[in-house]
Structure 1
Amino acid sequence: MNILLKSAKILDENNKGLHGKVRDIWIKNGSIEKIGVSVKTDSKTKIVSLPNLHVSRGWLDSSVSFGEPGYEERETLSNGVKVAAFSGFTDILLNPNTHPVPDTSGDIIFLKKTAAEKGARVYPIGSLTRGAEGVDLAELYDMSKSGAVAFYDFKSPVTNSNLLKIALQYAQGFNGLVFSFPLDVSIAGNGSVHEGNTSTKLGLGGIPALAEEIQISRDLFILEYTGGKLHIPTISTAGAVNLIANAKKKGLNVSCSVALHNLIFTDEVLDEFDTNFKVMPPLRTSKDREALRKGLRTGVIDMITTDHLPIDIEEKRIEFDRAAYGSLGLESAFGVLNSIFGTEQTIHLLTKGRDRFNIPAADIKEGEVACLSLFNPVGDQQTEKKELKSTSKNSMYIGKQGKGCVYGTVIDDQFFVNPD
C-alpha cells in the first residue's frame, strides 16, 4: 500500500535536520520515497491526514508474550502482532513461554513464519535450556542461526550457577545474549507480592528485595569471571539499580530492562486484591519506583518493556495467592509513559534497545524501509476494557489515565491505524 502521511511532525533525535519539523512523508512500496513540506504523489497513493500527527522511528518492546502454540486461548500470534502494531510497536521480542517452549531451530522458524507480515515484526527469544527445565542447555547456536535474538527460560531463574557459567562461555562463540531472571527462589519461597508493610497488612506471602538482589549479585560475579553478554530482564528494586550501575562502571557487558508497571504502580494498589496487579517481579515501594525512574534517566537501565503477558480469565478470577502472574501492557504503554516522562523522553525510551539484540534500526529518511510509529502526544485518554484489542483482558491499566494516543504504525508496506 502506498500512503502519504500529511503534515506529520517528526521526532527523531538521530536526525537533527528533521527533528521537530512538520513534513509530508510519502511511503511507496514499503520504503520512504519522499519527505518534504508539500509532497505530490501519484493517483495510487492513499492520503492519510490525522489530527496533530506525530511520527517517530518504530518502537521496540523487549518482553512480549502471547500464547501460541499451546495457549491460544490467551492470545494467538496473528492477533497479538496486530495488537502490538496498533499500539505503536513495530518490533517485539517474543518470550519463550509457550507449550512446548521454543528450544530448537525448528521452533524458532515456526514462530517467525507464523507471525510474518501480520503486524509487528517478531524476533523470537529461544529457551535457554531444554524444555525450560533448567538442566541442559538447549540448541543455542542452531536457534541463533534460525533467528533467535537471545536465550531465556521465561521468568525462571537459572538456579544452577555452573549452568549459567557454561551458557555465558558457550554463547560467546556466536555473540549470543543470555538472559537471567533475577530471583532467588529459596528466598522468595511462596511469596506473591513485595515483602513489606502491605504484604503484612493483607496477610500475603512476601518476596523481599533481597531475593532479586542476591541473584543479580551472583550473576554479575559469574559474568565477571566468564565474560560474554548478559541481560537481566525486568529489575524492580533500588538495590538492583545500584548493582548494575557498579557492574557497568567495571566494564561488564550487562544490560537490563524495567517493566512498565514497576514505573507506574507500587504495592499500595493491592488493597483490593485485584489479581491484575499480580506480576513477577512484584510491584515494590515508592522508593524502588523512584530509583527505577532515575535509573532510566541516567542510562543505568537500558530499556523499558511492557512485559505484556495475556492471561485468560480463569487464571485471574480466583484467590490472589493462586492467580497467575501477568498483565497486559502494549495498549497502554505510550499514554502512561508520556504522562510521566514527557513526549521526547518517552520516544527516546521506546526506541531504545535494538543494538543490544542486533536488530537493525530504520531511520526516517528517503530510501529507507518504512518503520514508523504514529501518535498524538496531547489530550487525555483512559484505558477502557471494552476497547482492548487483546484477546485476554487482564490489564492493570484499566481506568488509568494516560496522555495522548497512538494512531498505529507503518511497517514496510503494511499500514495499521486504529479506526477510532
Structure 2
Amino acid sequence: MNILLKSAKIIDKHNESLHLKTRDILIKDGIIVKIAAKIEPESKTQVVKHKNLHVSVGWFDSSVSFGEPGYEERETIENGLRTAALSGFTDVVLNPSTHPCPDSSSDIVYLKNAAAGQLTNLYPLGTLTMKADGNDLAELYDMKNAGAVGFYDYKLPMTNANLLKVALQYVQNFSGLVYSFPLDTKIAGKGIVNEGAVSTQLGLKGIPALAEELQVARDLFILEYTGGKLHIPTISTATSVKLIADAKKKGLDVSCSVAIHNLVYTDSVLEEFDSTYKVLPPLRTKPDTKTLLKGLKDGTIDFVTSDHTPMNIEEKRIEFDNASYGTIGLETAFGSLNQLLDIEVVVNLLTKGRERYGLKSPEIKEGEIACLTLFTPEGSSTFNEEDIESTSKNSMFLGSEMKGSVYGSINNSIHLTANTK
C-alpha cells in the first residue's frame, strides 16, 4: 500500500534538517521512500490530508494494562492495541496485571503472539517474583529471552529488601531492568487517598507522601550498593523527584516515570467521592504537581505515561473505599498533556523512553520503516464517553477539555485513522 502524507509539519528535534519543516512524505509498503517539499501522488496511492497536519515518530507508552488473559471484560489485547493506535501510540509496554500473571517464558510468548499483526507493537513485562507474591524470583532470564523488556510485580511494592538486592545483582548478567513500585505498605496502612487536608475533611484514610519517599530512598540505597538498572514507575511526590535527582547526580542507573493524571489533577477533585479519581499512587497536592512538571522539564523524570488501567463498571461504581484503583488514559494522553506543555516538549515526552527498554527508536528518514503519529496541536474539544475507544469507561478525564487531537498512526504497514471532531 502506498500512502502520501501531504503538507505535514514534522516535529523531530533529533533531526535538525527536518524539524519544524513542512514536507510531503511518501510511504511504500511500510517504508518511507521520499520526503520532499512537494510530491505528486502516483496511481493507487492513498493521499492523506488533514487540517494543520503534524507528524512525529510514533509515540511510546511505558505503562499500559489490558485484561487478557483473565480479565477480558476489562480489555482484550486486540482492542487495547487498537485503542493505543487510535490514540497515537505505536509502541506500548504491557504491565503484568493479568490472571494468571506472566511469570514464565511461555506466558511472555503467549502475550507476544496475541499481539501479532497489530499496528501497535506490544512489549510485555514479566513479574519480578513468582505469582507476584514477593517471595521467590521468577524466571527472569528465560522471560528476557522470550521478549520481556523488564520485571515488575505490578503496583506491588517489593517488601523484601534483600530480594530486590539479589534481583538487581542477578539481572546484570543480561542487562535486565528491574521495577520497584514506590510504596511502603506499613506506612501506607489502609490508606486509599493522599493524606492531607482533603482526606481529613472527607474522612478517608490517607497514604502519606512519606510512604512513597521511604521506599524510593530505600531502593536507591540498594541500587547504590548493587549496581544494575532500576526503574521506579509513576512517582507522585516532590520529595521523590529530589531523591531521584540526587541519585542521578551520583551516577546511579535509575529511571522513573510519572502518570499524566498526577500532573493534571490534585486531591481536591475527591470532594464528590467520585471513584474515577481513585488511583495508585494517589492524586497529591498542587506543590507536588508543580515539582513533577519541573522534574519532567529538567530531565529528572525520564518519561510520562498514561498508566492506562481499564476497570469495568462493577469495580468502580461502588463505595469509594471498596472501588478499584485506576483510570484509563490512552485516549486523553495527548490532549491533556498538550494543555500543560509546549508542543515540542509534549512530542519529546511521548516519543522518548524506548532506549531504556533496549528498543530501537524509529526515525523520520528515507529508507526507514514508517512508524509515525499524525496529529494537530491546535483546536479544543470536550472529552466525552463516546470518545472512549476502550472497553472500560473508567476515565477521570470525562468532561475535561482537550487541546489538539490525534488523526491516527502508521506502523507495521498499517494506517489507522482516528475519529476526530
Task: Return the alpha-carbon distance in structure 2 between the equivalents of residues 419 and 357 of structure 1.
Answer: 31
Q: CA deviation at 1:412?
A: 2.4
Q: Write the deviation string for residues 17-67 of structure 1: whole angstroms up to 9, x where unpaired.
A: 111111111111111011111113431211111111100011110000000
1:286 paired with 2:250, answer no
Q: CA deviation at 1:391?
A: 0.3
TM-score by length of 2: 0.99
- The count of corresponding residues between Structure 1 and Structure 2 is 420
Task: Return the alpha-carbon distance in structure 1 between the equivalents of residues 103 and 2 of structure 2.
Answer: 39
1:6 aligns with 6
SS at match of 2:404: strand
1:22 aligns with 22
1:388 aligns with 388
1:355 aligns with 355
Q: CA deviation at 1:149?
A: 0.4
Q: CA deviation at 1:85?
A: 0.4
TM-score by length of 1: 0.99
1:172 aligns with 172
2:146 aligns with 146
Task: Return the alpha-carbon distance in structure 1 between the equivalents of residues 126 and 95 of structure 2.
Answer: 8
In the alignment, residue 128 of structure 1 is paired with which amino acid?
Answer: L
1:260 aligns with 260
Write out the 4+ residue segments of structure 1 that deviate beyond 2 Å after TM superposition: none
Q: Is the 8 A contact 1:2 1:413 kept in 2?
A: no
Q: CA deviation at 1:413?
A: 0.3
1:213 aligns with 213
1:247 paired with 2:247, answer yes
SS at match of 1:330: coil
2:300 aligns with 300
1:190 aligns with 190
1:338 paired with 2:335, answer no
SS at match of 2:331: helix
Q: Write the deviation string for residues 343-393 of structure 1: whole angstroms up to 9, x where unpaired.
A: 111001111111111111110010000110110110012211122110000
Q: Is the 8 A contact 1:78 1:119 kept in 2?
A: no
Task: Return the alpha-carbon distance in structure 2 between the equivalents of residues 152 and 216 of structure 1.
Answer: 15
Task: Return the alpha-carbon distance in structure 2 between the equivalents of residues 109 and 36 of structure 1.
Answer: 41
Q: CA deviation at 1:117?
A: 2.0
1:321 aligns with 321
In the alignment, residue 203 of structure 1 is paired with which amino acid?
Answer: G
SS at match of 1:289: helix
Q: Is the 8 A contact 2:384 2:399 kept in 1?
A: yes
1:368 aligns with 368
Task: Return the alpha-carbon distance in structure 1 between the equivalents of residues 30 and 110 of structure 2.
Answer: 24
Task: Return the alpha-carbon distance in structure 1 between the equivalents of residues 280 and 339 of structure 2.
Answer: 24
Q: Is the 8 A contact 1:95 1:124 kept in 2?
A: yes
Task: Return the alpha-carbon distance in structure 2 between the equivalents of residues 162 and 369 of structure 1.
Answer: 44
Q: Write the deviation string for residues 306-344 of structure 1: whole angstroms up to 9, x where unpaired.
A: 100000000001000100000011000111111110211
Q: Which runs of 5+ in 2 are unaligned?
A: none
1:31 aligns with 31
2:108 aligns with 108
Q: CA deviation at 1:118?
A: 1.9
In the alignment, residue 46 of structure 2 is paired with which amino acid?
Answer: K
In the alignment, residue 404 of structure 1 is paired with which amino acid?
Answer: G
Task: Return the alpha-carbon distance in structure 2 between the equivalents of residues 3 and 60 of structure 1.
Answer: 22
1:227 paired with 2:227, answer yes
SS at match of 1:211: helix
Q: Is the 8 A contact 1:259 1:304 kept in 2?
A: yes
In the alignment, residue 304 of structure 2 is paired with which amino acid?
Answer: I
Q: Which runs of 5+ in 1 are unaligned?
A: none
Task: Return the alpha-carbon distance in structure 1 between the equivalents of residues 204 and 306 of structure 2.
Answer: 25
SS at match of 2:119: coil
Q: Write the deviation string for residues 165-211 of structure 1: whole angstroms up to 9, x where unpaired.
A: 01000000000000000000001011000000000000000000000
